[in-house]
Structure 1
Amino acid sequence: MFKSSLVQKKVVILGGGESGTGAAILAKSKGFDVFLSDRGQLNQKYIDILHRENIPFEQGIHSESRVLESDLIIKSPGIPDTVPLIIAVKEKGIPVISEIEFASRYTSAKLIAITGSNGKTTTTLLTYHLLKNAGLNVGLAGNIGDSFAWQVAEKQFDYYVLEISSFQLDNIEDFHPQIAVLLNITPDHLDRYGYNFQNYIDSKFNIVRNQTTADHLIYFEDSEVIAAELSKRNIDSQKIKISLANKLSEGAYLDEQKLISNAANGTFEQNFEELPIKGPHNAINALAAISVAQLLGVSSEKISEGLKSFTNAPHRLEEVEVIDGVTYINDSKATNVDSVFYALGSFERPIVLIAGGVDKGNDYSQIEALVRNKVKALIVLSKDSDKLESYFFGIVPQIYITQDVQDAVNKAQEWSIAGDIVLLSPACASFDLFKNYEDRGEKFKAAVRNLTSQK
């Protein structure tokens, strides 16, 4: 049902990608007068769908007069609140919400919402896999997969597992996950938040804004930022801790190489080394997913079975090839420093690190010790190499600058020997040289595979 006290008639969707098109379909199905506007060029796939659904749209422009006539704006997460059009909309008093907010108003499914600066995609996919493997009627949406709104319009699920970004959380009102997962909060997207870390923290904590005492918050207690925020906030939900540092009588933790989760309905144990995902960051992700599954009554047998059969998404510590004893790893999804911290911590062998891209206000001191101890060479793949090069000069024995991914991989091969790791873990956004992190990862994989054809 529509929870807002307003009765909206005209809905304008800003942004015509997956979430925007899905929101338009849901809005039309609920009887709204819908118009979609995208300042860029729409993908032909979405143009065809909008034509098929008889939803009017424009591309290459935002017609401000038409936008300002609306009763409700559903905004793409990629559009900042600071652009002049959104400022004008808000000055007129028109509500601006995200697709996840809109979709949540029309489903009675239980919502499991997962956020964090790092690890949310893996945790979301793993949680979905555990629940689906256990036979639950569950959908996957949010910042991954098919549009949440689109699925609400056309499908019936009992549960949704949602990957939620800070940008999506910026425009919620009543969004109410029964289970919220907060993995970590480290500086990211500071360019979007006025270079004020607290603004970003506040955005992440919107995930629990509407939770009640009947709901649950699963969080990583080792995070100093999360711990500090919890100490000064009044949060009603029941809290479940996960930790790598402490053994918890209630909650989930890593003991040596064993994942242990003590829940109200029993204790679950699993040897972490038996799982296809590796590294301390993935232990956190697994503990969070296990905690969700236990809350929903999934048996230990089914949880263990699901953990062992999970296949992670591409571009997240993805092994590409082993060539002449050198292992090439694609971690293109690592678009901030914290992600690289976890990536470097996942390997004990010498590393040739490929990093660089669009810096988002990065603080490289977080990885300095790991780089000093583990990285034998740094290859900066970027249009702007100054910050990385100057920071790690004298810390890394060899540094090479390039704007060509094949050149970067060729140099990595030249500088590596059997037993080494060549790791693409950029710490930066991809938009200087690539369409997105997926494009960067795919081009890296192609360049690696070219090494074998060059022999």
Structure 2
Amino acid sequence: MNENKNIEPEKAPAPLERVGERLRLVILGAGESGVGAAYLAQQQGFDVFVSDMGAIAPKYKEQLQQWNISFEEQQHTEELILNASEVVKSPGIPEKAPLVKKLREAGIPVISEIEFAGRYTNAKMICITGSNGKTTTTSLTYHILKKAGLNVGLAGNIGKSFAYQVATERFDYYVLEISSFMLDDMYQFKADIAVLLNITPDHLDRYEYKMENYVASKFRIAQNQTAADYLIYCADDPETVKGMESRTFGAQLLPFSITTKVQPGAYLENDTIIITTNQQQELFNMSINDLALQGKHNIYNSMASGIVSKVLELRNQTIRESMGDFRNIEHRLEHVAKIQGINFINDSKATNVNSTWYALESMPKGVILILGGVDKGNDYSMLNDLVKQKVKAIVCLGKDNTRIHEAFAGMVSEIIDTKSAPEAVYVSYHLANKGDTVLLSPACASFDLFKNYEDRGDQFKKAVMEL
């Protein structure tokens, strides 16, 4: 691979080698990934210590106790952490956290769970990142591979911890949903097949509010790749295309596009997805009308999963069947019910404006849009055209809805404030007519009124079923 500082990590801590006494591995964060990493580390003979600044959930605490792994909660005891040989950090802990700064200053390697677990498996890695569509594309890809009979695990930002699966399973393939936060702490790890869906502004507070820093983070999905590997990317995404111009890649490049004929890769012709790869294979084709996932954004997601499947030389019939019978994940454009001819859609996982744009783009006209929550400095202007075309009314679900009112005043007939999921559902139901869609796609985090986006989605669904 050509040397390129934008793709290759600046510092790449090598895997630790034991010399004499047991190495001490400290894990910061006792959620799904941290507890899984602790189990794998113990299995590999490390002296393991887990530290969480918050309260550890009962199920994870029970697991740590059952495995006799030392831990602390609601504090970080520095003398028990700064003596580590290496630290596995939760993706949720920012680089600017004082403890992380002290670890860096002390020269102690800080890595992600994915980096750590990747050392202990020879499975093929299919890694999917992007600002939007990661979970759907990861789930669809896993569904296709599973249906094709491959021995495959699902992990990363989704499902059980990758590290725990490495410790307890023997999969030949993993499909991993990888966030930019995970990528930031990955160095030696390599994706055999990397998928970069899109890059749109998100989490910029973690990247000094510089888009170029966030873009560089996303492109780490391609680091360490060789000519035997593949990078699958969206040729229609402006930030991705711009980012590629200043970088070199060791992998074989496979683009997908709905506007241009790209070969090899995936493109759209007369409402038919056509996929070709570098291999001498029969091309794949499928009408977009037969896809289980509808909407323009899901054509992209299906193309990406389809290219992965063709690279792995799966049968076209299996790919078609899987793309046709896939059921989307909970809280992502999830159809809840049809009541009095009104469709209710739960898209609670849409915690940024881009995700809400994708949701609206896939809807017919006549939408009652439920928006709001913790606003991360959102720029709602990108929704203007779709709101004017498709939205009849906006129902706000949050403690402070001022910015939503300011953003959409005059574009819709009504903007109504609500303070609970049952109230939002009740108001939306009475605003809607037969044939309309009530869409919960908040564009905001959920922490003002709910525990998390799952809780928000669950309360929405419960309220719908009680109408």
What is the TM-score with the length of structure 2 in the denominator? 0.94
Paired AA for residue 265 in structure 2: G
Mapped to 2, the partners of 1:419 and 1:306 lie a distance apart of 29
Q: 1:187-206 CA deviation, whole Å, 9 max, x = no partner?
A: 11122222222221111111
CA contact (8 A) 1:117 1:184 kept: yes
State the partner residue of 1:4.
15
| Aligned residues: CA RMSD | 1.3
Q: Secondary structure at the match of 1:85?
A: helix
Q: Secondary structure at the match of 1:435?
A: coil
**Alignment map for 1:326-345 (pairs within 5 Å):** 326-345=342-361
Mapped to 2, the partners of 1:118 and 1:314 lie a distance apart of 15
CA contact (8 A) 1:169 1:206 kept: yes
Q: Secondary structure at the match of 2:357?
A: helix
Unaligned runs of 5+ in 1: none
Mapped to 2, the partners of 1:240 and 1:187 lie a distance apart of 24
State the partner residue of 2:318.
302
Q: Does 1:347 align with 2:363?
A: yes
Q: 1:256-275 CA deviation, whole Å, 9 max, x = no partner?
A: 43221122322101122122
CA contact (8 A) 2:365 2:389 kept: no
1:383 pairs with one of 399, 410, 414: 399
Q: 1:124-144 CA deviation, whole Å, 9 max, x = no partner?
A: 011011111111111111010
Q: Does 1:154 align with 2:154?
A: no
Q: Does 1:168 align with 2:182?
A: yes
Q: Secondary structure at the match of 1:74?
A: strand
Q: 1:51-72 CA deviation, whole Å, 9 max, x = no partner?
A: 1111111111111111111111
Paired AA for residue 197 in structure 1: M
Mapped to 2, the partners of 1:237 and 1:387 lie a distance apart of 44
1:131 pairs with one of 129, 145, 151: 145
Deviation at 1:3, TM superposition (A): 5.3
2:427 pairs with one of 399, 411, 421: 411
1:217 pairs with one of 225, 228, 231: 231
Q: 1:390-424 CA deviation, whole Å, 9 max, x = no partner?
A: 11111222101122111111111111111111100
Q: Secondary structure at the match of 1:188?
A: coil
State the partner residue of 1:438.
454
Mapped to 1, the partners of 2:206 and 2:352 lie a distance apart of 14
Mapped to 2, the partners of 1:219 and 1:361 lie a distance apart of 28
What fraction of aligned residue pairs are identical, expressed as a percent? 52
Mapped to 2, the partners of 1:131 and 1:340 lie a distance apart of 29
Q: Secondary structure at the match of 1:313?
A: coil
CA contact (8 A) 1:349 1:419 kept: no
Paired AA for residue 83 in structure 1: A
Q: Does 1:447 align with 2:463?
A: yes
Paired AA for residue 385 in structure 1: N
Mapped to 1, the partners of 2:130 and 2:139 lie a distance apart of 14
Paired AA for residue 248 in structure 1: V
Q: Does 1:106 align with 2:120?
A: yes
Q: 1:169-214 CA deviation, whole Å, 9 max, x = no partner?
A: 1111111001000000101112222222222111111111111222
Mapped to 1, the partners of 2:17 and 2:374 lie a distance apart of 41
Q: Does 1:316 align with 2:332?
A: yes
State the partner residue of 1:25.
39
What is the TM-score with the length of structure 1 in the denominator? 0.97
Mapped to 2, the partners of 1:416 and 1:430 lie a distance apart of 24
Q: Secondary structure at the match of 2:126?
A: strand
Mapped to 1, the partners of 2:48 and 2:167 lie a distance apart of 15
Q: Does 1:271 align with 2:287?
A: yes
Mapped to 1, the partners of 2:366 and 2:325 lie a distance apart of 29
Mapped to 2, the partners of 1:291 and 1:85 lie a distance apart of 42
Paired AA for residue 311 in structure 1: R
Mapped to 1, the partners of 2:31 and 2:245 lie a distance apart of 39
Unaligned runs of 5+ in 2: 1-12
Mapped to 1, the partners of 2:208 and 2:456 lie a distance apart of 27
Q: 1:61-92 CA deviation, whole Å, 9 max, x = no partner?
A: 11111111111110011111111111111111
State the partner residue of 1:357.
373
Deviation at 1:6, TM superposition (A): 5.3
State the partner residue of 1:119.
133
Paired AA for residue 197 in structure 2: L
CA contact (8 A) 2:367 2:392 kept: yes
Deviation at 1:5, TM superposition (A): 5.5
Q: 1:330-364 CA deviation, whole Å, 9 max, x = no partner?
A: 11111111111111111222111001111223221
Mapped to 2, the partners of 1:227 and 1:389 lie a distance apart of 35
**Alignment map for 1:135-284 (pairs within 5 Å):** 135-263=149-277, 264=279, 265-284=281-300
Q: 1:261-292 CA deviation, whole Å, 9 max, x = no partner?
A: 12232210112212221111111111101100
How many residues end up aligned between the 2 structures? 450
Mapped to 1, the partners of 2:316 and 2:255 lie a distance apart of 19
State the partner residue of 2:72.
58
CA contact (8 A) 2:365 2:391 kept: no
Higher deviation after alignment, 391-400 or 156-165: 391-400
Paired AA for residue 331 in structure 2: H
Mapped to 1, the partners of 2:449 and 2:269 lie a distance apart of 42
Paired AA for residue 303 in structure 2: L
CA contact (8 A) 1:3 1:105 kept: no
Mapped to 2, the partners of 1:432 and 1:196 lie a distance apart of 27
State the partner residue of 2:302.
286
Mapped to 2, the partners of 1:364 and 1:255 lie a distance apart of 32
CA contact (8 A) 2:184 2:217 kept: yes
